[in-house]
Amino acid sequence: MGTCIQRQSLQSLYMNATVCLLALFMLAACSLDNGNSGTNTTTGKPTTPTSMPATATATATPSIKLGAQPCPAAVSQPSYWNTKIPTQANVNQVENVTCANLMGKVDLQAVVTVRYAGTGHMLDVHVYNNITNPKPDGIFQLTNLYNGEARISTYNTLLTSEANQKSPQNLNQPPASITNDLQREFKWSDSNQTLVPVTFPGFFPSTTRYQAEADQQKVNQGQEAWQLNAELVASKFVAQSKLFNWQNGIQTTTVSGGGKNDVNAIVKVEKTAPAGRNAVTITMSRLENNANGGIWIVTRVDSPQLSITSPEQQSRIQSPVTVSGKGTAFEGIIGKISIFDSQYNMLGNANARGQQGNGMTSFSSSVNYTPTFKNGSEEGIVAIFSYSNADGSVSGLAMAKEILS
């Protein structure tokens, strides 16, 4: 019996050991499966961050940038565009290629200038889209700019400068004495699918963006520092002989802004006259809203009881133009309406006749004018002057910036 018990114990021990071994094998198998799963997950995780930066770098979102930008290398050389224009040997050649986001999209456009040999150094300006295509799309063109220049503004507009041979300052002058006195600005229009003329809002010291950016460069180089002082700009504005011609006896007062860190300013200018005191309020903004050294530009002129209601600011007008507004009449006359080009050359004028004989009243007068520039539109100014009954001096002025056709 003892032997049977011993055998039974051995058998039980053997079976228990076998069960334990089987359990260990099963646990090991489960652990191995879990280990493989963990290994796969761990291996996958590092690859995700590694691949993401590469994808982000390769597909960085393009952006619209202001001002001239580097052209793609394949189309950056003038020689590439000589065959696209095309040019002719000993007649003309591509002078410069500049790229920018002129259309308000991330794709670049190319401004290609072509210079002609001979008197006047004529310039043609071509603007292209899809510039890396074998046949780029021409979207704008200007031709025969006398002594012409072209560049991209900081607002992604096209700026041009040329000599108006028929202007008072250039008429009958020898070629060596002719100066560039006509600046224009063109901006992309989705509705027209081309660049169209636009106006710069300034009346003084610059009447065009081309002039303003050139003035800003001078100031940056330490010249013409008075353009950084709002009250000095206002004083020089009213002193202009073709405008107020207030040379002496003036007092300037800053109504608002005008400080070193301001981008807007309102300055009141008063002049003591024999018949009393005349006043004008001048509104200014810094060029490009740059508080860090931007020059002051006169953008609005307000005289008491004198205004222009039509044409609206920055409209396109042609001769004859109907000018409407309000003012104080004396014996039926409120003042004189004048049409100027951007150099303040007078192109035409007419009396502003009130609907009532005396006192505050409205006016609507037709004005004929004759532009001296015949090859397109130009920036100009519509102004109405009121005069002192005592001495005939200018007592008030209202102005509107327009495009003259």
| Residue 294 CB contacts under 8 Å (≥ 6 apart), including other chains | 216, 263, 286, 287, 288
CB 353 within 8 A of CB 219: no
Does pTM surpass 0.85? no
3-class DSSP assignment, residue 313: coil
- Counting Cα atoms < 13 Å in the Cβ hemisphere of 232 gives 9
5: Cα separation from own chain's centroid: 107
What separation in angstroms does the CA of 14 have from each of 27, 28, 322, 348? Answer: 20, 21, 119, 124
| Residue 270 CB contacts under 8 Å (≥ 6 apart), including other chains | 250, 251, 252, 253, 277, 278, 279
Dist. CA 367–CA 319, nearest whole Å:
7
pLDDT value for 390: 84
- Give the amino acid at 56: A
Dist. CA 184–CA 29, nearest whole Å:
83
pLDDT value for 277: 86
Which region, left, alpha or beta, applies to residue 228 given φ > 0 means left and ψ of -120 to 50 means alpha?
Answer: alpha
Which region, left, alpha or beta, applies to residue 342 given φ > 0 means left and ψ of -120 to 50 means alpha?
Answer: alpha
Show the beta-strand stretches assigned E in 67-181: 92-100, 109-116, 123-129, 137-145, 149-152, 158-162
pLDDT value for 389: 86
- Domains plus CATH for the chain? 73-197 (no CATH), 223-302 (3.10.450), 304-405 (2.60.40.2550)
- Tokens coding 273: 């006259």
Outline where 83-229 has alpha helix (H): 209-220
Q: Based on the number of CB atoms within 10 Å of its own CB, is 349 exposed (0-12), middle (13-18) or buried (19 or more)?
A: middle
Strand order through the sheet with 137-145: 92-100, 109-116, 123-129, 137-145
CB 359 within 8 A of CB 335: no
CB 300 within 8 A of CB 332: no
In this structure, is the dihedral angle defined by the CA atoms of residues 290, 296, 299 and 305, taken in order, positive or negative?
Answer: positive
3-class DSSP assignment, residue 200: coil
CB 298 within 8 A of CB 344: no
404: Cα separation from own chain's centroid: 20
From the first residue on, what is the mean pLDDT of each consecutive set of 10 residues in the chain (405 residues)? 41 43 40 38 34 43 88 97 95 98 97 95 98 97 98 97 97 95 98 97 98 97 97 98 94 97 98 83 97 97 96 97 97 97 98 95 98 96 94 94 97
pLDDT value for 404: 98
